[in-house]
A and B are shown apart, each in its own frame.
Chain A
Amino acid sequence: MIKVLFFAHLKDVIGSESVTLEMGGENIISLKKRISDQYRIDSLHTVMVAVNEEFADDSTILSDGDIVAFIPPVSGG
């Protein structure tokens, strides 16, 4: 299982701050596709991804127990 966290407008669109998925051995591109298909979101290309609190490439392979965060362009400060 992996846990996926959503923030800002993604949290609003998806209606939840996290989901748990049965997944393993797949990369972030696959995960983005699953989420965008399931929730009909077409703007995930602008979203950064962090795996276990570090930015990760789309090609990163996900493992059981990973915490993945979808990070829209940030606007702190």
Chain B
Amino acid sequence: MNRRPESLLEPLGPERRVFLRDESRFEGRADFFAAPSDLDELVAAVQACLKRGLPLTPQGARTGLCGAGVPQGGCLLSLAALNRPWALSEGPDGSLELEVQPGLSLDDLNRDLLRRKLDLAGPPPRPDAAEAFRRGSYFWPPDPGEGAAALGGLFAVNARGPAALRHGSTAAHVRGVKLITADGQLRELRRGRRVFQGARLELPAGGFLELSPRSLGLEPQADLLDALAGGQGMHGVIASLTLALTPRPAAVWALAFFFEREAAAAEFIEAVLAEPPEPLASLDFLDEVSLAQALELKKTASKLRDTPDPPSGSQAAAFVELQADGQEQAEEAAAELMARVEAVGGDPDRSWALTDDETGKMKMFRHAVPEALGCRLDRLKAAGRPGVKLAFDAQAPGRPFGATLAELRAELADSRLTAAVFGHAAGNHLHVNILADDPDQRRRGLELAAVRLERAKASGGELFLEHGVGKIKRELFLACERPERVEALKAFKRAFDPQGWLNPGNVFPDGPLGEEDGS
């Protein structure tokens, strides 16, 4: 530690205004700012806040889409300077584990993994682990599409992204975290040490929480880490993460199929889901509005300049990633997908097929959709019509993809609303971004969201499955989420942060959470 604890907290001056917002364009406020540069400083900064009675909001790379890292007063704790891999080791099963600081970006992690070169801030690895790392080729599967995202942020929203179809969510690839709890203590939590025993979970600071994992949307015998993932900085400050590394697939292909009819895209998605090719890693849907948004961003974004426009007249697209054990397997799967496009009356020549080192281009285009939606808010703001993003996501499992989509289309038409609709085929997990430019549209949008979320609940789907709830979806979350889930999350929050010090105003209203009050 280089600095004395009292000097770690600085008043937040105008030059730090940039830290008061994230990718959701939501704007917050804070009185103090701390950007610790090592673990000791981090612990000291948290303790200094607690000592002064300052609520604190941990923040990563500000790439969040719901304002979870945007403070609502108190101290803003930026983890951005804690951005190094820490230690490499072999896990109990012989696999490789990499402990990282929470501010390390996904891009930097992946670059290091690709180069097989780690600039570890912590202790040197044992020779056998170092050798295994040099010999093998590893990656870390979670990829929400935003490479600038901090790994702590990925865990905090339990990010999923397109490849969740194959790899699940972030929590599944985290073996442990170091968490600074609301008592200011640093606690090491390993997967497998604390699991739900029936409806009982041992807490890190001692004592037990009586809560069924089901009520939190978790499997029976879920791990404490699974419950903490997606916690958005409300249960503690993540001081490090231990990632489970995975051997890299031998061949990676990114395919995009463009359809002149949305219904054909939906049929294609249903057909692929019914009988997925072996190397299928992701299957995403983009509607016409989403494609138009990406095209809009393409006009100004230098990174998209080398990407051609999608075939004109495309009403929808399906983006596919294959992670195969070799080129041959990828080729077979691609040919199979082509045949399925033809089977639904699509034209397989309205497609892009990128392999290996070119696939980044496709990801960039896919990621341009949420990015463009943010830029749209900027344009509205510049035109004097500032608004808050109106977006929600929900699964609707158990029904055909096309039926879910058709129903949404009808509801959008009834409400006279336009929305960018994109999402993941698995579980019919759609993101709906309503293009609400005035208060009336916003009102109708919120009504529509409530209807959609209600329906998703009825089908047994999860709501707000990725990106978190943060500040901007709080209203919608409290109104629409299953009441027993809201209560369970509150109980879990209370168990970790009875005073409401941690990320006040996030998901729940500011202040200590009462037993009954849900407003």
Q: A and B: real partners?
A: no
Residues of A within 8 A of B (CB): none
Residues of B within 8 A of A (CB): none
